[in-house]
Amino acid sequence: MQPPAWHQPNNPYRRLARAGLQFYGNAIIDTLTVSLGQYSDKGRKAANQDFHGALIPEPPLLHMKGLVVALADGISSSSASAIAAETAVKSLLTDYYCTADSWPVRTAAQRVIAAVNSWLHTQGQAAAHPDDPDRGYVCTLSALILKSRSAHILHVGDSRIGRVIGRSLEPLTRDHRSGAYLARALGVGPNIEIDYLQLALMPGDIFVLTTDGGHDFVDGSSMADSIARHSTDLDTAAREIATLALDHGSTDNLTIQILRVDTLPPAGLADHLTVAPNLPLPPRLVEQDEIDGLRVIRQLHGNARSSVHLVQDTVTQRLLALKVPVADDPHGDAYLRQFLMEEWIARRLNSPHVLKSVQRETKPSALYLLTDYIDGQTLTQRMRDNPRPSLTSVRDIIGQLAKGLTAFHRQSMIHQDLRPDNVLIDATGTATIIDFGATSVAGVSELDNTSQPRDWPGTVQYTAPECLLGAPGSVQSDLFSLGVIAYQMLVGRLPYGDAAARVQNDKDLWRLQFEPFDPARNIPLWVEAAIERAVAVNPQHRYAEASELVYDLTHPNAVITPPAGTVRPMAERLRFWQTTCLVLVCAVGVLLLILILMVG
């Protein structure tokens, strides 16, 4: 669900006053309940250049994105700043909810604010005084986003957000001021630095958002006292704080927003995103069975948790893959939630190198996942059939997998189990990433407020070593898996042998030694250097994006490639000669044994 366009008269969020969007009273969100009070006034100025608003969407958007409260303060020297403040708040309240629901709050909100800043700066540059920011489209912005059991604060300028602690106000933002001037504000430059803070929520938490016309003239204890006196009517409390500011000599516009957290949702809210009410598990399927107009042709794969069948749509004759959970799976509800998340993830990815979910008009009668059918072989089988592939073919496959991983990463998803068994190659040579059972989604992880450690879901041979020690998955851990695949395709073994899978502590981690390529393969040294960087033990030494690895596999990178004739470190040379000597000793031993037997 997306909020209706602002210009539509039936927009339930379009309750406008000159100074902002007014939302009063209580807002009940499942088990998250908040009370909200707001007040804004021009004060002793001719016009109100503040703007404020709040938006509380309906589920499921509420669960995935949360509620937003924000205010902006336009600078008094520019008549255009009122437009800037209104644009900043409205854009955040609407565009934030149009971002991918797989993105975490910080990513989504900061991208929206950055886009607003760019637009404001462009408008200022096109105005009559492009070199004078004091006459531009400039404003502050302070935003509070509540999602699940966390508060997210984003801030630019000298408006403020604080939290009531007893009879005082704890500051949660810092003023971006240099003397009497703003040191940082929206619209001043093409880029903007946005302060960010995340806090755990508790029932009873009270947040106060103010512009400088209010907090420069009313201290935190006075604000806390007003809120305590009018705890059942926060609008009155906000109005009283504004009146105090005027009584104390405020000459500026003043805006006050007060939000109280009444109750919180339970931990693990992510579990409720994938509820499929009244959908039974499908029966065990055999050839020629039919379910929802899908005729089973044969089983493609099966294990203790699920089975995958080739099916045909009886109407369109299209071949599809049907994945169904096994009814007697011992992991029960936990696995079913994971199974449903796979479908949720697949619907949000769009890449020719990622398995696509298929949506049909027919409502399902049972719980299953329907995807495209890929007629091909796994990369594992391909490597068995072609143990010495050309460098060109390896570059091609790695390039396709990099595009698939990029589709995940742009949605703030980490695959976490990229391995040859999870890659299908069809007759045209197209590589497709499958199986999202281990995929981590940043936006969903924010809903799971448990701190319980979890076992790594991927396959250890292709898992970045830091993840085996408990570090969370990242873009760099996915790129490690991609680098291992590239190494394995070219060399036929793993870059650290079996040692990487046995990492149990930091000492094991730093003992890992990259095994150089076999010189007989005649792989350019710069290609080896690119793969070595992709599988670096330290994730900070790996590539930032998959496209960088793909580029370095086809273009020599002088920064990471040793000069021609460079001798590898003594440890690597010693390991090579130790291996060579061991082979020779074994060969001599075999010859001696044969000679003894012949003499005997």
Could you read off the pLDDT of 539-572 as tens digits, one per residue? 999 999 999 999 999 999 888 876 555 445 544 4
Structural domain contains residue 542 = yes
d(CA 375, CA 278): 33
Per-residue 3-state assignment (H helix, E strand, C coil) for 219-230: CHHHHHHHHHHC
Asked whether residue 34 falls in the same domain as residue 105, the answer is yes
* Per-residue confidence band for 201, with pLDDT thresholds at 50, 70 and 90: very high
Residues 95 and 114 in one domain: yes
Structure tokens at 264: 């919180």
Sign of CA dihedral 328, 331, 335, 336: positive
> For residue 226, is it within any domain?
yes
- Using the predicted structure, report yes or no on whether residue 17 has a pLDDT greater than 60: no
- Worst-scoring range by mean pLDDT, 54-58, 235-239, 293-297? 54-58
Tell whether 10 is covered by a domain.
Answer: no
At residue 273, the pLDDT reads 54
Whether residue 319 is found in the same domain as residue 203: no
Assess if residue 591 is contained within a domain: no
pLDDT-wise least confident of 164-173, 281-290, 316-325: 281-290
Inform me whether the pLDDT recorded for 147 exceeds 70: yes
Contact criterion met (CB below 8 Å) for 325 and 336? yes
pLDDT value at residue 165: 94
For the chain, the domain total comes to 3
pLDDT of amino acid 264: 86
Q: Is residue 272 part of a domain?
A: no
| Token duo for residue 228 | 């305590």
Helix axes 234-247, 220-229, angle to 10 degrees: 140
Q: Are 216 and 250 in contact (CB under 8 A)?
A: yes
Per-residue pLDDT reduced to its tens digit, 512-536:
899 999 888 889 999 999 999 999 9
Return the pLDDT at 458: 72
DSSP per-residue letters across 203-257: TT-EEEEE-HHHHTTS-HHHHHHHHHHTTT-HHHHHHHHHHHHHHTT--S-EEEE
| Residue 117 neighbours by CB under 8 Å, 6+ apart | 186, 187, 189, 190, 191, 192
Is residue 270 assigned to a domain?
no
Q: What is the mean pLDDT of residues 460-470?
A: 90
The candidate with the shortest Cα–Cα distance to 364, out of 419, 325, 417, 411, is: 325
User: What is the identity of the amino acid at 192?
Assistant: I
Cis (ω within 30 of 0) for the bond into 60?
A: yes
Predicted local distance difference test score (pLDDT) of residue 493: 93
- Does residue 414 register a pLDDT over 60? yes
State whether 219 and 344 are in the same domain: no
Which has more pLDDT, 434 or 133? 434
Same domain, 367 and 404: no
Q: How far apart are CA 429 and CA 393, in angstroms?
A: 9
How many residues make up the chain in this entry? 600
Q: Is the model's pLDDT at 396 over the cut of 80?
A: yes
- Tell which residue, 70, 16, 80, has the closest CA to residue 49: 80
**Could you tell me the pLDDT band of residue 3, with boundaries at 50, 70 and 90?**
very low
Task: Choose one of 227, 242, 265: the last residue of a domain.
Answer: 265
Q: What distance in Å separates the CA atoms of residue 128 and residue 145, rounded to the nearest whole number?
A: 36
In what helix (H) or strand (E) does residue 55 lie, and over which residues does it extend?
strand 50-55
Find the mean pLDDT for residues 418-426.
96
**Crossing angle between the packed helical segments 105-125 and 81-95, to the nearest 10 degrees:** 150
- Looking at residue 332, its pLDDT comes to 59
Q: 215: which 2 tokens? A: 């907090």
Contact 72, 88 (CB under 8 A): yes
Q: Are residues 368 and 386 in the same domain?
A: no
Give residue 23's pLDDT: 37
Domain boundary among the residues 316, 350, 372 is at: 372
- Answer whether residue 520 is part of any domain: yes
Same domain, 413 and 562: yes
| Mean pLDDT for all residues in the chain | 85
pLDDT for residue 511 is more than 60? yes
pLDDT of residue 319: 96
Of 265, 287, 313, the residue at which a domain comes to its end is 265
In a domain, 546, yes or no: yes
CB neighbours of residue 588 within 10 Å: 10
Distance CA 258, CA 207 (A): 6
For the chain, percent of residues with pLDDT exceeding 90? 59
CATH code: domain of residue 215: 3.60.40.10
In the predicted model, is pLDDT for residue 1 greater than 80?
no
Q: What spatial distance separates the first Cα and last Cα of the chain, rounded to whole Å? A: 86
pTM given for the model: 0.77
Q: Are residues 471 and 535 part of one domain?
A: yes
Q: Do 321 and 247 share a structural domain? A: no
For residue range 321-362, what is the model confidence (pLDDT) as tens digits?
A: 999 987 665 455 667 777 888 888 988 899 999 999 998 888
Q: What local confidence, expressed as pLDDT, does residue 10 receive?
A: 40
479 vs 501 pLDDT, higher one: 479
Nearest in space to 171 (alpha carbons), one of 156, 159, 184: 159
The string of pLDDT tens digits covering residues 93-129 is: 999 999 988 899 999 999 999 999 999 999 988 865 6
Looking up residue 386, the CATH number of its domain turns out to be 1.10.510.10
Q: Are residues 556 and 415 in the same domain?
A: yes
Cα pseudo-dihedral 233, 237, 243, 245, rounded to 10: -160
Model pLDDT, residue 519: 86
Q: According to the model, what pLDDT value does residue 266 have?
A: 75
Q: Could you tell me which residues come within 8 angstroms of residue 447 by beta carbon, excluding any fewer than 6 positions away?
A: 63, 64, 147, 148, 268, 269, 270, 273
Q: Is 570 helix (H, G, I), strand (E, B) or coil?
A: helix
Q: Greater confidence, 164 or 504?
A: 164
- Name the region of 503 (left: φ>0; alpha: ψ -120 to 50; beta: rest): beta
- 176 in helix, strand or coil? coil
Residues 28 and 91 in one domain: yes
Q: 214 and 268 in contact (C-beta within 8 Å)?
A: no
Banded pLDDT at 434 (limits 50, 70, 90): very high
309 and 448 inside one domain: no
Q: Residues 297, 285: contact at Cβ < 8 Å?
A: no
Q: Which residues contact 364 (CB under 8 A, 6 or more apart)?
A: 279, 292
Choose the most confident range, by mean pLDDT, from 3-17, 54-68, 200-214: 200-214
Domain that holds residue 302: 279-372
Residue 449: closest CA among 276, 265, 275: 265
* Burial 359-386, CB ≥16 within 10 A → b, else e: eeeeeeeebbbbbebbebebbeebbeee
**Phi and psi of 333, rounded to 5°?**
-60, -35
